[in-house]
Structure 1
């Protein structure tokens, strides 16, 4: 009989992790797929179909009865989304669930089931085969200027294992960056930095005269057991790095990934960008809240700056969604934000 394994089951953690990675390598095409392996997540794992990864929240105001915040699309074949959802809905705690940063296939399924589906931002994907490494033309003028400024100051980019860098220097850079960004690592939508070599993850860094200025982590995206591309998951940069340093790293990564025959570089989500009242049945008040936050809440996250920067890479923009069961409310949205450590 087919069964669903959860954290509380008798299977060992190592057995569970091996099963997660098996599904990930076959169905982890989404830019959030590798993030489902981050610490602190719980899992609904079905032996045959795939899995859902979620944050568990209990809060006296935003989630007094508990809330599951599912991260990204199901790690499963698209044809199995509905069967996996049905199995999940029978599990404990599933009655109050928010699905964050999901794509159109899963969003359509949830909408068809009657759940409100709101836009939550734009994901950016670069088709590596079509990207102009030389950055010719007006469309790449910002990138060209940022690249040239960093290059002219003597910034150099290298790739390797994170373990080859000085551990204390990396820790100090990461700690300084976090202090400038509010002091706490976000979770869920950004996979937190792990200062260890991880399977299939790529690490690039920039130095000037031997000093570490910046590093970036690129997570793999899979299809049928093969790596087809990467997500630019995170960057850490010192406060006095030459302008364009982090872009120099991304451009070198693009060059190398393209030479290897990879298909895609995802720049990830621009949260709350381009939110419209379109396509799915949604909560209008939630959209109004998202648009207000995008324009006025840079103290929470640099929403507009994030969009401006990623848009300059001229990638393909993909609408991304958030859905909720049984119903959306402002409190539910704030509960999601709390689970993601946005405040």
Structure 2
């Protein structure tokens, strides 16, 4: 076990996620660039990044239920000794209540979206447009296959570059709250590639999801700007059908900031000022984060589970801390 504030290996983090990873986006804790806090007196870990005078923590405390409070306390002590404050992003409701009880100001920041896979299909009038888009992509000659990342790494990097250029010259690639390809745990992910005339034109990466709703997380998708409509949807349906054959229980579309905000989701002690700021970003923040387009894609699959997710400030809420979260995700 690592010393307090020391590093732990990816193997330890992955095993902790398998045991304690209730957050469906928990695998993102393994993204390259994250740091880990561990305490020899407790099982589990905390994932975070440094941003200004803050430690921006991801996804709550990954540890046994009866040990999360003490591990959170140890992490706060580590932050104090380093002269840093803690802000935590993408907390589940149970995390939010724990953090509020430990002196954090907690506000809803968005929601996550999931579909149960047993019995799931695109039958019915709700999915007519989706079925038509997928049919159009297939008629264009689209071929979808699961492939090892190493076989396509260079071509996928070219897709990434074209995708980013297509978003505009001021747009940066978002990090921290989305998945990635490559790195030491790539063998745990699933990569589905769409090809036209034998050339890759789009891909979706899926990461394992653990906990009480196990399955897969749709965590990263990219395409060339000029691909036919329906290509991403066809790739995802191919994945859904494969996951169903394997007996997977859930497909999680992950977290979208500034969506699903509702007063009834707030925990006691939420900051009115931070709440108003979140609603402002929900209404006018598309240049900060592409929430509307993300939500439109997720909603077309008919998610049956929508869960609130939270942002927590140790002490009073701070718009400066929100800015640092946006900075560490490269949203600004």
TM-score by length of 2: 0.90
Q: Do the aligned partners of 1:31 and 1:221 also contact (CA within 8 Å) in 2?
A: yes
Secondary structure (helix, strand or coil) at the match of 2:154 reads: helix
Shift of 1:109: 0.8
Within the alignment, does 1:305 sit opposite 2:293 as a pair? yes
Aligned to 1:38: 31
Shift of 1:3: 7.5
Aligned to 1:249: 235
Q: Do the aligned partners of 1:232 and 1:265 also contact (CA within 8 Å) in 2?
A: yes
Q: Evaluate the alpha carbon distance shift between residue 32 and residue 93 of structure 1 in structure 2; reply closer, same or farther with a 3 A threshold.
A: farther
Deviations 1:40-95 (A, max 9, x none): 1121113442001001011xxxxxxx101101122212332212112222213486
Shift of 1:196: 8.0
Q: Which runs of 5+ in 1 are unaligned?
A: 8-12, 59-65
Shift of 1:116: 1.6
Aligned to 2:4: 5
Aligned to 1:76: 63
Distance 2:62 2:184 in 1: 24
Secondary structure (helix, strand or coil) at the match of 1:235 reads: strand
Aligned to 2:196: 208
Q: Evaluate the alpha carbon distance shift between residue 221 and residue 116 of structure 1 in structure 2; reply closer, same or farther with a 3 A threshold.
A: same
Distance 2:162 2:178 in 1: 18
Within the alignment, does 1:270 sit opposite 2:256 as a pair? yes
Q: Do the aligned partners of 2:87 and 2:312 also contact (CA within 8 Å) in 1?
A: yes
Secondary structure (helix, strand or coil) at the match of 1:324 reads: strand
Q: Do the aligned partners of 2:24 and 2:210 also contact (CA within 8 Å) in 1?
A: no
Within the alignment, does 1:175 sit opposite 2:174 as a pair? no
Aligned partner (choices 161, 164, 167) of residue 151 of structure 2: 164
What are the within-5 Å matches in structure 2 for residues 107-186 of structure 1? 107-132=96-121, 135-165=122-152, 167-181=153-167, 182-186=170-174
Q: Do the aligned partners of 1:41 and 1:55 also contact (CA within 8 Å) in 2?
A: yes
Q: Do the aligned partners of 2:190 and 2:206 also contact (CA within 8 Å) in 1?
A: yes
Distance 1:306 1:67 in 2: 28
What's the Cα RMSD here? 2.2
Secondary structure (helix, strand or coil) at the match of 2:281 reads: helix
Aligned partner (choices 275, 294, 304) of residue 282 of structure 2: 294
Within the alignment, does 1:21 sit opposite 2:44 as a pair? no
Distance 2:35 2:135 in 1: 44
Distance 2:47 2:185 in 1: 22
Deviations 1:134-176 (A, max 9, x none): x1112222321221221122211110211222x4322211111
TM-score by length of 1: 0.88
Distance 1:94 1:16 in 2: 25
Q: Evaluate the alpha carbon distance shift between residue 275 and residue 94 of structure 1 in structure 2; reply closer, same or farther with a 3 A threshold.
A: farther
Q: Do the aligned partners of 2:23 and 2:211 also contact (CA within 8 Å) in 1?
A: no
Aligned to 2:87: 98
Q: Evaluate the alpha carbon distance shift between residue 336 and residue 25 of structure 1 in structure 2; reply closer, same or farther with a 3 A threshold.
A: same
Aligned to 1:233: 219
Distance 2:21 2:235 in 1: 24
Shift of 1:177: 1.2
Distance 1:211 1:22 in 2: 37
Q: Do the aligned partners of 1:33 and 1:73 also contact (CA within 8 Å) in 2?
A: no
Within the alignment, does 1:327 sit opposite 2:316 as a pair? yes
Distance 1:79 1:238 in 2: 47
Secondary structure (helix, strand or coil) at the match of 2:56 reads: strand
